Amino acid sequence: MDGFFTEQGNDVDNWTELMLIYNAALKQIETKIEILNEEFQHVHSYNPIEHIKSRVKTPESIVKKLKRQGREVNLENMVEYVNDIAGIRVICSFTSDIYTIAEIIGKQKDVKVISIKDYLVNPKPSGYMSYHMIVSTPVYLSDRTVDAKVEIQIRTVAQDFWASLEHKMNYKFEGNAPAHMKKELVECAEIVAKLDETMLQLNEEVQNYSTSAKEN
């Protein structure tokens, strides 16, 4: 948090500066991921990433999160305790791509991995599956360098489709969806997991066949 705000700045100036920094961090991480995807296409003739989504949390969402945490709403607490102000979602074809991308991101010299939550190995009770990383990256301003946090969510197309529906349900029912819908959503998550597993196996068979065909 040191160096995040200018000493002379008022709340409005500091808020503007805060958003500038998070937007810059978001662009830097997003560019890194796009370059990674282009490199894979060049070296391996393969794109592990289907698409990328990015966003900066709205002021309303930030305030709600701090209140849920029981913290005072101020800029210092936003920086310290809200880790997903800047967020990137990376959508992959296969589960194997998720770990490949996460490993390469973690090896970037100017990216520091703060925390990891692997909801593929340990799905949430709702059935939610994804791979979450909180990283920090330096943002170079005219008078100083500031480390800013970015949340990276990496998931398959099928997992993203499922998560989108879960989000709609939670929003519509304010987190209190009917029991039968929650049950069916968990069952759908199990189907998604099986689908991803089968698709990965089929893809590996295709790749192995292509390799053996070339050798013969």
Contacts of residue 157, Cβ cutoff 8 Å, sequence gap at least 6: 50, 91, 92, 93
Considering 17, 39, 151, 187, which one is annotated as catalytic?
Answer: 151
3 state SS of 118: strand
* Side chain identity at residue 142, one-letter code: S
Concerning whether 151 is annotated as a catalytic residue, the answer is: yes
Give the DSSP H or E segment for 25: helix 11-44
Question: What are the C-alpha distances in Å from 11 to residues 6, 7, 83, 181?
Answer: 10, 11, 20, 44
Residue bearing tokens 């920086």:
79
CA angle 45, 96, 161 (to 5 degrees): 100
3 state SS of 96: helix
Contacts of residue 78, Cβ cutoff 8 Å, sequence gap at least 6: 18, 62, 66, 85
Handedness of CA 215, 96, 107, 84 (dihedral sign): positive
Q: What amino acid positions are annotated as catalytic residues? A: 151
